[in-house]
Amino acid sequence: MSDIAVELKNLNVFYGDFHAVDSVNLSLKNKKVTALIGPSGCGKSTVLRSINRMNELISETKVTGEIIYGGININRSNVDPVEIRKRIGMVFQKPNPFPKSIYDNITWGAKIHGHKDDLDELVERTLKQAALWDEVKDKLKQSALRLSGGQQQRLCIARTIAVKPDVILMDEPASALDPIATGKIEELIAELKHDYTIAIVTHNMQQASRVSDYTSFFLVNDERRGHLVEYGKTDDLFFNPKDKRTEDYISGKFG
């Protein structure tokens, strides 16, 4: 089995006439956490959303280049994006549970995707995997909207896991949470990487250095196009960056 789960080759993203992401080549290693860091507007979220073809839900968006997953280029019109999003799930900055019960949040996507096994078992297993079971096991029929923000985010992660993805994309999953809830999400990421390939966009460099195995650093060029400056093992990138711009960014000189 290849050690690469997803490979972006010459990825370009356009919002109308605006060339937002320029020629990105980046791999997500199997069962590792890859962080995407860089100043605001450098295209981190755009790159992340390309990986499971979420950008095409935004009108006037064009994505060129290859996104190799499972041996094929999934950035092709004959590939079903719904199937891709089942294999490559996404967790957003703001927790967005459905206005339904905790139980239904977990089972909803799984039922759509034809899950036929015991739903109670699925709910228990995924909530345990998301480190939420002990806190909610006595109120599974209660509305998910009554949970705290941190619990809602772990529920969203559980909902993502329930459809058995390979890859989980996380777009600043803890930025709306307090430090304790953030710590729980970081612990959860450390557990989840045993089973899933994870890509995480974060503004928080300490968080990137704590949770990720590999880090990619993005910047905009003079034409405001986001591009990849440096990619490497997280420790190398933080402690021994190759590019002066990476060094300046991680030492807080700009951004």
Ligand X SMILES: Nc1ncnc2c1ncn2[C@@H]1O[C@H](COP(=O)(O)OP(=O)(O)OP(=O)(O)O)[C@@H](O)[C@H]1O
Q: Point out which residues bind ligand X (CB under 6 A).
A: 15, 18, 20, 38, 40-46, 58, 203, 226
Question: Considering the complex, what minimum distance in angstroms separates the CB of residue 114 from ligand X?
Answer: 32
H helices present in 114-175, as ranges: 119-129, 133-136, 149-162
In angstroms, what is the minimal distance from the CB of 37 to ligand X?
Answer: 9
Nearer to ligand X, 15 or 98 (CB): 15
**Residue with Cβ nearer ligand X (221 or 240):** 221
List, in sequence order, every beta strand (DSSP E) within 30-166. Answer: 33-37, 61-69, 72-73, 88-91
Instruction: Write down the least CB distance from residue 124 to ligand X, Å.
Output: 35
As measured in angstroms, the least distance from the Cβ of 82 to ligand X is 21
Using the minimum distance from each CB to ligand X, give the nearer residue, 44 or 193. 44
Question: What are the distances in angstroms from CA 147 to CA 48, 117, 153, 175, 210?
Answer: 27, 27, 9, 17, 26
* CA 109/CA 118 separation, integer angstroms: 14
**Based on CB atoms, which residue is closest to ligand X, 123 or 198?**
198
In the bound state with ligand X, the residue whose beta carbon lies nearer, of 62 and 242, is 62
CB of 194 vs ligand X, minimal distance in Å: 27
| Cβ 225 to ligand X shortest distance, Å | 9
Which residues sit opposite 170 in a β-bridge?
A: 91, 200
Question: What is the distance, to the nearest Å, from the Cα of residue 28 to the centroid of all Cα atoms in its chain?
Answer: 11
Beta-sheet strand order (sheet of 197-201) = 72-73, 61-69, 4-15, 18-29, 226-233, 214-220, 33-37, 197-201, 167-171, 88-91
- 47 versus 156: smaller Cβ distance to ligand X: 47
Residue (of 171, 172, 174, 170) closest to 151 by Cα position: 174
